[in-house]
Structure 1
Amino acid sequence: MTTIAQGAPATAAHEHPNQFALLGQRRFAPFFWTQFAGAANDNLFKFAFTVMVTYQLQVGWLPPALAGLAIGALFILPFLLLSATSGQLADKYDKRVLIRFVKWLEIVIMLIAAWGFFAANVPALLLCTFLMGVHSTLFGPVKYAYLPQHLAERELTGGNGMVEMGTFVAILLGNVAGGLLVAVPDVGPHWVGWACIAMAVAGRAAAQFIPPSPSTDPQLRINWNPFTETWRNLKLANGNVVVFRSLLGISWMWFFGAVFLSQFPSFAKEVLHGNEQVASLLLVVFSVGIGIGSLLCEVLSRRHVEIGLVPLGAIGMSVFAVDLYFASRGLPAVPVQALGVFVAKAAHWRVMADLALLSLFAGLYSVPMYALIQLRCQPTHRARIIAANNILNALFMIASAVIAGALLKSGFGIPQIFLFTGIANAVVAAYIFLLVPEYLLRFVAWFSSRFIYRFRVRGDEHIPVEGAAVLACNHVSFVDAVLLMAASPRPIYFVMDHRIFRIPVLGWLFRLARAIPIAPQKEDPAVYEAAFERAAQVLREGDLLAIFPEGAITRDGQLQEFKGGIMKVLDRARADGVQPPVVPMALTNLWGSFFSRVEEGRAMVRPFRRGMFSRVGLNVGEPLPAAQVQPAVLRARVSQLLVG
């Protein structure tokens, strides 16, 4: 688990009301505008170049039909060749130094590009396309490794959401500006050249104010072989199953998005029967949807890294991709429509709504994954793993182009490709979530704490963001563990009565969560002993262990006596050289709910007995050193939290 680096104290999350306030802070704002200017410049340059060779120049060896493909391939090639090297550089050197170097490089590239635009020199512009790919390849690992050095855990989701939103807005503005400027009669290419230089200078000016970001592995020896280094980084990421599957999940999102983005021009012309402005409108709707979804992540996650949003995002992506097929397949063939005519038809609003919502859910899907990777990676290898992710992204995007092309040649229509992609997304998501059940568990916890209960957590800053700890909580209902999962940004391993595993659905859920069953020693000595050994292992590995010291769910709503099992857990930990703090917790207002034993000792008897969205809470107290813990002392702390 990573630490909070310079400039990102644990209390920083409480110093500003939301993610937008980061734009007023030096640790984030200069970096944000630097990456914004770079993304805008990339797309201004590429789109203007594409339009110029498609409509304005006659280049025999680069026909218009191949221009977009060639420009895209040249831009993405450096990601395959240089990502491994750029990841090592970002881990070895101060990220501020690297960012400034990259921005100087961008100015040089744009000076060459401006000459290329002035002289209508296509080879020079193709060279600049490749060099801008190099620029983006060098910046990518720095971009995502910078954030966890300067943002606290509670800020990572919001910070990543802002960056994701800014990137797509920059892409949109860059494309629009490039298309408008290059189309100006006679002087369009000249204006594009000057605009590219201006954006590069603006990015370098913003980079001047980025604070120091010290090296995370200054002794690293650079391996200049990109193939062996990429393989080494993928093996390193594979050592953490959640991180590696998240890399694959992000790459799949780029596959999914590339299918839609690449088909917008043809979709607008052949299916929607719209002109170039309609194609641009689709890009606007898609970009705005991604931006809104990215910004919603902080609101929906209570300012934690909440990967429970990932299954929600995957569901929305599939639902609205499939509905886009049904919304677009029956549109009548009509002459090419201008933008005003297109938006006046009600059937087209359903198409745009589907597109906006599927991209919104793609934002909900991707931002928590990026934040999780930043949080769970070893700090010394973070940039290299992100570089490996960039390579996977590029490969998945190439695969999307090949597969989409093969489907078109096989007779698939564009709406059918969208349907295929939506169904494939559901299959891939189900595969990932079954391989890494933490996503599914977090989704259940997130959903339960928002749509079954109105769940409020106080004192969650006392839950350690790293290292081993024991969480000790009163036991009120069968969903106590689910609510504790919702309160913690980290996975929790629970010690639970073995009988709870027999309950349908809940038993399966707790087995999926790798909860530790425990039985009374007289009833099953083997299960009893195995539970304590597994609990000791959890603490040895630096994870969170949750215990309900009462030993069973209360039958009268009152706090019961705490048993001595927690002392045995702490004694085992001390024998292993681990001194985990104990965090007292109290679930409030949960007694009397459907999942508590309120009906003559029975639970789950009368659904909705308290209505929907009943208020429940969790109060978290300051951690107790292991040496001070006694059952009576711990019970007194939990009792105080119940009333406070």
Structure 2
Amino acid sequence: MPAARRDERVARNEGAHVSQFVLLRQRRFAPFFWTQFLGAMNDNVFKIGFTSLVTYQAARFSGVDPKTVAFLISAIFIAPFVLFSATSGQIADKYDKAVLMRWVKNFEIAVMLIGAAGFWMHSAPLLYACTFLMGVHSTVFGPLKYAYLPQRLAPDELIGGNGLVEMGTFVAILLGTIAGGVAAGIGATDAASAAGLASDRPPPGAWWLGGMCVVVALVGRAASALVPPCEPSQPGLRINWNPFSETWRNLRLAHGSRTVFLSLLGISWLWFVGATFLASFFNFAKDVLSADPDVVTVLLAMFSLGIGSGSLLCERLSRRRIEIGLVPLGSIGMSVFGVDLFFASHALPAAPHLLSVGEFLRVAAHWRVLADLFLLAMFGGFYSVPLYAVIQSRSEPSHRARIIAANNILNSFFMIVSALMAMALMAAGVGIPGIFLTTALLNIVVAAYIYALVPEFLLRFIAWMLVHTVYRVRLVHAERIPAEGAAVLVCNHVSYVDAIVIMAESPRPIRFVMDQQIFRSVFFGWVFRHAKAIPIAPAHEDPAALAGAYDACAAALAEGDLVCIFPEGKLTRTGEMNPFRHGVTEILRRTPVPVVPMALRGLWGSAFSRFAASGQERPLRRGVTSRLTLAVGEPIAAADASLERLQETVAGLRGARR
């Protein structure tokens, strides 16, 4: 069998990997998953039950404004994130995370007993206090959750593990919403509430809510008992109990890496968007859709299924790598469908009464609303999962939990601002659809700002789009591209997009050595300037540029970066490889590092190659997309990397296919 054909078969086999759902059968992940799942579910059983009671049975709770109570509950819940996140991050770094999870679940049981008393006594102050305490529970658990994953999962499992956690969180939100909403509606006396008649006797729903919250907390504690030990990251850490100075210190730690810090801001912005939508659902259902409380469950079901689907799809779309190119894709989709939700909300027929679920679903216009919610949330999954993985992978293990704590601080700040913005807009007469539109437009501004600061996100998006639309890429031994450490990559040069294809398939950023003329072009120049490419020119054209390129390559390799060079020095005009030039050997002479040979197959004949200039007829059978292969060879020591051996190795990897 020819080598190229054999490698194609290897590439197909490499694409078949173990599903991320296998983690749900492993002790290192499953008990942790169910512990966090039940905690998220209980949060929402309580919050949705409380919100439903005060929205639709306001007469039972004196002094509560049903129009703004959902935003108030949200603000109270996240206030502890501002106050205690810094301390929680230190505790998570200092102690065994499994032991801490069990203590957190003990605390949850006590809190839910207080909440049950609040439901049975229909006491708003007691329920507000329980909301705050549940916020404390989540504040402590957050750093544990996201710091546990990178300690227990391999790097290529992080995307799948985070996807499962995000999916599980929103399925838990959905189930908690259904359970909380159904329980709150048991035995409700709408007529009495409408007439303003309060009863001293709690309805049966209050008993159900209280009992359910306590039972879920007990089951969560049982699950936490099975979480395996997880050694502390920094056991000698001395805890600073001053939340203000420690909060500032955590934010400075997070700011140490520009990409990590802006990823934190990106996630916090997602929580701003999500909090705005989720807290609006009850009023959206009642005042805009003219629907009863059960329809809120349908709205949240679509939102939860959307973000769960997006989170799970991330692993397949990213090929189990941390693919930050999905982040801009997610932000684009969130804005598009957020804006469309505004217009869909103004195209609804009038309803003579509050619609039941069946009546709501029989109206065609409502399906557009549901589709917008599903797709907005699905793109939110594309947005969030890679960002969480970036933070986990690029943070120092010794203070990873404190970085997560800094994330929680920022999240809480953004969510509080979200609640204040929504309340201010409603006070100014802006309806719920207007709040949705404002949020979607702000998302465009925030996304553009972040991508301008860190072009890596946008560059990876361009590369990802190229290899998932124009090209379909098969990988052969892509694991040979080093995950860390300095190395020189050498590859044949077939088209203007060779570097973008390699960039899209690399697990880490690459510094490309780029012809000075291409570097100065309008589109490709913009891409490669932001990718920190190194422009080079022949000695007879610009000796200063050549010397500067060698110096830049040496500096990049000294910093542990990957440097990629196309030793042919120019695009092929015939499809055959040009002789390799001495630039690569000069780079290795200055900085002896391993050389990783690579070959691209199938780009000859594409729109970005010089196929048309060759005088040959373009084959129409290529269709809309081109199939190509990136084959990676075994690393070669610098001492053995002669030009002859490198060219022979790259030619062998390419095979007969151009």
**Same fold by TM-score greater than 0.5:** yes
Distance, in Å, in 1 between the alignment partners of 2:645 and 2:163 is 42
Q: What is the Cα deviation at residue 114 of structure 1? A: 3.7
Letter in 1 for 2:514: M
Q: Which aligned pairs between 1:182-221 and structure 2 lie closer than 5 A?
A: 182-185=184-187, 186-221=203-238
TM-score, normalised by the number of residues in structure 2? 0.90
Distance, in Å, in 1 between the alignment partners of 2:178 and 2:605 is 58
Q: What is the Cα deviation at residue 474 of structure 1? A: 1.4
Distance, in Å, in 1 between the alignment partners of 2:540 and 2:238 is 57
Q: What is the Cα deviation at residue 421 of structure 1? A: 1.8
Moved over 6 A (4+): 605-609
Deviations, residues 61-100 of structure 1 (Å, cap 9, x unaligned): 5565565444333321110101011111122222222222
Cross-structure match for 1:169: 171
Q: 1:271 to 1:114 in 2, by over 3 A?
A: closer
Q: 2:449 matched to 1:431? A: yes
In the alignment, is the contact (CA less than 8 A) between 2:72 and 2:419 conserved in 1? no
Q: 2:292 matched to 1:291? A: no
Cross-structure match for 1:80: 82
Q: What is the Cα deviation at residue 106 of structure 1? A: 1.8
Distance, in Å, in 2 between the alignment partners of 1:615 and 1:583 is 23
Cross-structure match for 2:377: 359
- Which has the larger displacement, 353-362 or 92-101? 92-101
- Which has the larger displacement, 245-254 or 45-54? 45-54
Cross-structure match for 1:281: 298
SS in 1 for 2:232: coil
Deviations, residues 264-319 of structure 1 (Å, cap 9, x unaligned): 22222222222222222211111111111111111111111111111111111111
Distance, in Å, in 2 between the alignment partners of 1:506 and 1:524 is 21
Distance, in Å, in 2 between the alignment partners of 1:255 and 1:23 is 30
Deviations, residues 585-607 of structure 1 (Å, cap 9, x unaligned): 1111212222122234699x979
Q: Which aligned pairs between 1:126-525 and structure 2 lie closer than 5 A?
A: 126-185=128-187, 186-336=203-353, 337-525=355-543
Cross-structure match for 2:108: 106
Distance, in Å, in 2 between the alignment partners of 1:66 and 1:411 is 13
Distance, in Å, in 2 between the alignment partners of 1:560 and 1:265 is 66
Distance, in Å, in 1 between the alignment partners of 2:489 and 2:395 is 24
Distance, in Å, in 1 between the alignment partners of 2:554 and 2:351 is 70
In the alignment, is the contact (CA less than 8 A) between 2:61 and 2:122 conserved in 1? no
Q: 1:183 to 1:351 in 2, by over 3 A?
A: closer
SS in 1 for 2:564: strand
Deviations, residues 446-496 of structure 1 (Å, cap 9, x unaligned): 111011011111111112222222222111111000000111121111011
Cross-structure match for 2:3: none
- Which has the larger displacement, 149-158 or 162-171? 149-158
Q: What is the Cα deviation at residue 345 of structure 1? A: 1.3
Deviations, residues 534-565 of structure 1 (Å, cap 9, x unaligned): 11222222222111122222222223333232
Letter in 1 for 2:99: V
Letter in 2 for 1:447: M
SS in 1 for 2:622: coil
Distance, in Å, in 2 between the alignment partners of 1:564 and 1:551 is 10
Distance, in Å, in 2 between the alignment partners of 1:47 and 1:410 is 26
SS in 2 for 1:142: helix
Distance, in Å, in 1 between the alignment partners of 2:35 and 2:15 is 26
Distance, in Å, in 1 between the alignment partners of 2:183 and 2:347 is 36
Cross-structure match for 1:590: 603
Letter in 2 for 1:105: F
SS in 2 for 1:233: helix
- Which has the larger displacement, 81-90 or 260-269? 260-269
Q: 1:262 to 1:126 in 2, by over 3 A?
A: closer
Distance, in Å, in 1 between the alignment partners of 2:17 and 2:317 is 17
- Which has the larger displacement, 475-484 or 180-189? 180-189
Letter in 1 for 2:599: A
In the alignment, is the contact (CA less than 8 A) between 1:495 and 1:516 conserved in 2? yes
In the alignment, is the contact (CA less than 8 A) between 1:594 and 1:606 conserved in 2? no
Q: Select 2:547's aligned residue among 509, 513, 529.
A: 529
Q: What is the Cα deviation at residue 436 of structure 1? A: 0.9
Letter in 1 for 2:29: F
Distance, in Å, in 2 between the alignment partners of 1:88 and 1:601 is 64
Distance, in Å, in 2 between the alignment partners of 1:619 and 1:315 is 32
Distance, in Å, in 2 between the alignment partners of 1:609 and 1:509 is 30
In the alignment, is the contact (CA less than 8 A) between 1:495 and 1:546 conserved in 2? yes
In the alignment, is the contact (CA less than 8 A) between 1:593 and 1:609 conserved in 2? no
Cross-structure match for 1:638: 650
Distance, in Å, in 2 between the alignment partners of 1:626 and 1:516 is 21
Structure 1 spans left out of the alignment, 5+ residues? 1-12, 575-579
Distance, in Å, in 2 between the alignment partners of 1:96 and 1:137 is 16
Letter in 2 for 1:102: V
Distance, in Å, in 2 between the alignment partners of 1:470 and 1:272 is 59
Letter in 1 for 2:634: E
Letter in 1 for 2:452: L
Letter in 2 for 1:450: H
Cross-structure match for 2:622: 610
Q: What is the Cα deviation at residue 14 of structure 1? A: 8.8
In the alignment, is the contact (CA less than 8 A) between 2:181 and 2:294 conserved in 1? no
In the alignment, is the contact (CA less than 8 A) between 1:594 and 1:609 conserved in 2? no
Q: 1:447 to 1:66 in 2, by over 3 A?
A: closer
In the alignment, is the contact (CA less than 8 A) between 2:71 and 2:419 conserved in 1? no
SS in 2 for 1:622: coil
Distance, in Å, in 2 between the alignment partners of 1:188 and 1:351 is 30
Deviations, residues 329-362 of structure 1 (Å, cap 9, x unaligned): 1324331222222211111111111111111111
In the alignment, is the contact (CA less than 8 A) between 1:596 and 1:602 conserved in 2? no
Q: 1:237 to 1:609 in 2, by over 3 A?
A: farther
Distance, in Å, in 2 between the alignment partners of 1:399 and 1:608 is 55
Q: What is the Cα deviation at residue 618 of structure 1? A: 0.2
Two-structure CA RMSD over aligned residues (Å):
2.4
- Which has the larger displacement, 276-285 or 437-446? 276-285
Structure 2 spans left out of the alignment, 5+ residues? 1-13, 188-202
Distance, in Å, in 2 between the alignment partners of 1:144 and 1:582 is 36
Q: 1:320 to 1:70 in 2, by over 3 A?
A: closer
Cross-structure match for 1:7: none
Residue correspondences, number: 626
Q: What is the Cα deviation at residue 23 of structure 1? A: 1.0
Letter in 1 for 2:97: K
Letter in 1 for 2:396: Q
Distance, in Å, in 1 between the alignment partners of 2:63 and 2:438 is 35
Cross-structure match for 2:191: none
